Structure 1
Amino acid sequence: MKRLSLPLLILVSSALYIFIIPDAPLVLNLLFKLIPMWLIITYAFLQFRGNRSFTGWIILAGLLFCMFGDGLLHWFLIGLSAFLIGHIFYIIGFFKEWRFSLIRVLTIIPISFYAIFIGLILTESLIEKGNSALFIPVIVYTIIISAMAWSAVMTGNKWAIAGSILFVISDSILAWNRFVSDIPYASVLIMTTYYTAQFFIAHSIKLFISKRA
């Protein structure tokens, strides 16, 4: 039961934020938005506590910067920058766990095609709506999160792979809803996939350690 208590708390706090907490006041909304990430960071730490795990600490740093991104996304470019740093930490951690496989290497092709597809649509929409100042930041972020997804695939770790894909889905919904056109229930879809992605990435640490044992 103890093993399930923290994941259950993460689930309950996530559901509370997604379905119950109002958008205003902003301070209250941000507080409840960050609680699931604090719990996920705690869960990640518990996966490698007592082990000298470089990957564990790097992924923990990624989670921490993503939490900063959560809190700062109201100020879009600042939040985006924090998420960008978080993804760079994930990339470092995942490439440290590189497990070569030709099939996994070739997944760079569909990931690249998707990055180009979503990148073209977003940049076209940004230009049309007069947000050309966001052109470069959005393109850089698209490249980095795609690299993060590919680096996760290269680990062969099913939790890291699932988490990275869900992260891409979450950010794709967010970007489409913000810059292209409204998506029904966007907030629910974004946060559900996002919290799940972060939990899976946190849980992936355990599998990395067990493979080394």
Structure 2
Amino acid sequence: MQANRLPVLILVLSILYIFIIPQEPLAFKLFFKLIPMALIIIYAFYQTPKQKTIVHWLILIGLFFCSIGDGTIQWFVVGLSAFLIGHLFYLTGFVSQWKFSKYRVASIIPIGIYAWIMGNELVQAISNSEDTYLVIPVIIYIAAIASMAWFAIMTGNIFASIGSILFVISDSILAWNMFVSPVNYEHVFVMVTYYAAQFFIAHSLKSLGRKHTQLVW
């Protein structure tokens, strides 16, 4: 399979899953849900050199754990745990590519504010529900994904940055719909931003880990 054809195939199969595949039976739905992620992981391999560095393996492992989370999110704690592990691998990989810029450092302010507001809303909603045991896991997860986004921005890699921000948006919509209030077309918004996030993170491997990388910003 040629790498330049994979993005089109990923797009087509993502649209197929989001808009056409029925909700039931669950096994059938999950099968088509995971196909785009499997292709994104294959695409990620194509973006890495033969001599892979630690950042390549960390991001690839992160993609793998996120695909597990994607397939198990209906069992919320299991899926959340898999996504958390995936974000920790992403975070570690991005930390290894840190490139200082005072403007990128400053991005911690809006990210921190957003994480605080979102976290506060979710904690209040969960505390008033029967799922109070989820308060601590959700706080840990918000801290992890916010940190992942900031460290992605600190790489200076535009694709990693866009991917991480889209991931935050996707998870925020999912969490808001689940715990705070219903979001119209939640499934569409969550999956579109999720697949796009993973694709951009996978595409970032083309330049991450290389000594002579032209940073976009």
Question: What range describes the TM-score normalised by the shorter chain of this pair?
Answer: over 0.9
Q: What is the rounded CA distance, in whole Å, between the counterparts of 1:85 and 1:52 in structure 2?
A: 21
Which structure has greater helix proportion?
1
Match in the other structure for 1:161:
161
Q: Deviations over 1:42-78 (max 9, x none)?
A: 0001111412321111100000000000111110000
Match in the other structure for 1:204:
204
1:211 offset after TM fit, Å? 4.7
Q: What is the rounded CA distance, in whole Å, between the counterparts of 2:164 and 2:211 in structure 1?
A: 20
Native 8 Å contact 2:62 2:88 kept in 1: yes
Please give the residue correspondences for 1:89-104 in structure 2 after superposition, counting only pairs within 5 Å.
89-104=89-104
Q: TM-score, normalised by structure 2?
A: 0.95
Match in the other structure for 1:61:
61
What is the CA RMSD across the aligned residues, in angstroms? 1.3
Q: In the alignment, residue 121 of structure 1 is paired with which amino acid?
A: E
Runs of at least 5 residues in structure 2 that lack an aligned partner in the other structure: none
Runs of at least 5 residues in structure 1 that lack an aligned partner in the other structure: none
Secondary structure in structure 2 of the residue aligned to 1:207:
coil
1:209 offset after TM fit, Å? 4.4
Q: What is the rounded CA distance, in whole Å, between the counterparts of 2:147 and 2:110 in structure 1?
A: 12
Please give the residue correspondences for 1:137-148 in structure 2 after superposition, counting only pairs within 5 Å.
137-148=137-148
Q: What is the rounded CA distance, in whole Å, between the counterparts of 2:151 and 2:104 in structure 1?
A: 10
Aligned-residue identity in percent = 56
Native 8 Å contact 1:173 1:189 kept in 2: yes
Q: TM-score, normalised by structure 1?
A: 0.97
Q: Deviations over 1:2-50 (max 9, x none)?
A: 4431110100110000000111101001000000000000000111141
Match in the other structure for 1:28:
28
Native 8 Å contact 1:122 1:180 kept in 2: yes
Match in the other structure for 1:189:
189
Q: What is the rounded CA distance, in whole Å, between the counterparts of 1:158 and 1:197 in structure 2?
A: 12
Native 8 Å contact 1:159 1:201 kept in 2: yes
Native 8 Å contact 1:87 1:144 kept in 2: yes
1:130 offset after TM fit, Å? 2.4
Q: What is the rounded CA distance, in whole Å, between the counterparts of 1:6 and 1:106 in structure 2?
A: 36
Q: Deviations over 1:160-213 (max 9, x none)?
A: 000000000000000000000111100000000000000000000102245547
Residue 51 (structure 1) aligned with residue 51 (structure 2): yes
Q: What is the rounded CA distance, in whole Å, between the counterparts of 1:35 and 1:83 in structure 2?
A: 17
Match in the other structure for 1:173:
173
Q: In the alignment, residue 93 of structure 1 is paired with which amino acid?
A: G
Count how many residue pairs are aligned between Structure 1 and Structure 2.
213
